[in-house]
Amino acid sequence: MSDLPIEVPSLRSQLTEPTSIAMIDKIQFCLVSTTFADEVILTSYVSDGITNLQGNTQTIVFLHGFDSSLLEFRRLLPQLTDTYQVLAVDLFGFGMTERLRDVQVSPMSIKEHLYAFWQTVIATPIILVGASMGGAAAIDFALAHPEVVQRLILIDSAGMRAGTAMGKFLISPLDRMATNFLRSPKVRREVSLKAYADSSFVTPDAEACASLHLAMPRWSESLISFTKSGGYGSFAEPLKYLEQETLILWGDRDRILGTKDATKFQSVIPRNQLIWIDNCGHVPHLEHPAIVAQHIREFVG
């Protein structure tokens, strides 16, 4: 296990929840090579649970949402480690994964980096779980690499709405002003309050977990780069060709994406099951991790 890079000021002392402390202590790094960058990418991830020996154990990989990190799964992963090998990885341009200078962050680079990470660390078929923007990344990856992804799980997923081209017209200093706005603790708190159905989950510990990656070098530049790429658009058309059986989990009180996209996914994906998480907002894996874990167990088997 590697320590956090020295450039990342540790917020460990601000964490109070045992799951948060345990998760940050499990973060490790590997070097990932891609075709879009001359340098290798120091990639952060957590691996826990039963080791996948001779293909006897299911491997579940978790992808976080926009401007977030693998700490998003701090309450869910411990619910599954007794049965499965579980990994959470920070996508290229996000979390604690290294951000390279003058390399665009886009859905294409995220997908290639994720495949290279899979080749480097896992190299066996997986169940892929994506939350929010991570759901769009998971869909994109599953469509491109059906031989890698056995099953797909979407948690309040993006990927059903068309992206916006406005980001392409962000010019300096407007781009920097936008990221400074997102860096504001007040703004981040307001987003957190909207993400949960129960506002009591917005604790100092939760806010620290949601902000750790902001200290990474080139956080602002990478967020600007991803926004200018256009981000993820709608997969409504290609989803008709999705090969994997898919579980759709959705908070019935989601105020970030709403609830209509859940039934749209259900109507388009060939083989799927939609399960509503009651009294829950946009982040069921943080608000009701035991319930989400049980549905994952039943789906994966």
3-state secondary structure of 198: coil
Helices (H) and strands (E) in the chain, counts: 10, 8
CA atoms of 244 and 148, how far apart (whole Å): 10
> What's the pLDDT tens digit per position in 196-249?
999 999 999 999 999 999 989 999 999 999 999 999 999 999 999 999 999 999
Burial of 53 (0-12, 13-18, 19+ CB in 10 A): exposed
**Antiparallel, parallel or unpaired: β 85-89 and 126-131:** unpaired
CA atoms of 195 and 202, how far apart (whole Å): 9
Is pLDDT at 9 greater than 50 in this prediction?
Answer: no
Helix axes 219-228 and 174-183, enclosed angle (nearest 10): 120
Predicted TM-score of the model (pTM):
0.93
108, 226, 244, 129: CA torsion to nearest 10: 130
Structure tokens at 124: 């066996």
Cβ neighbours for 173, distance < 8 A, ≥ 6 positions apart = none
Task: Give the model's confidence band at 163: pLDDT under 50 very low, under 70 low, under 90 confident, else very high.
Answer: low
CA atoms of 126 and 149, how far apart (whole Å): 5
> What's the pLDDT tens digit per position in 26-50?
999 999 999 999 999 999 999 999 8
Q: Where are the beta strands (DSSP E) in the chain?
A: 28-32, 41-49, 59-63, 85-89, 126-131, 149-155, 245-251, 272-277
Residues pairing with 198 in the sheet: none
Which residue type does 147 have? E
> What's the pLDDT tens digit per position in 116-135?
999 999 999 999 999 999 99
Please, are residues 285 and 259 in contact by the beta-carbon 8 Å criterion? no
User: Would you call the peptide bond into 146 cis, given omega within 30 degrees of 0 as the criterion?
Assistant: no
CA atoms of 205 and 208, how far apart (whole Å): 5
Is pLDDT at 178 greater than 50 in this prediction?
Answer: yes
> What's the pLDDT tens digit per position in 81-97?
999 999 999 999 999 99
- Domain coordinates of the chain in residue numbers? 12-300
Structure tokens at 294: 């049980």
The CATH code of the domain at 12-300 is 3.40.50.1820
Structure tokens at 203: 């604790």
pLDDT of res. 169:
47
Please, are residues 113 and 32 in contact by the beta-carbon 8 Å criterion? yes
- Residue 176: other Cβ atoms inside 10 A: 13
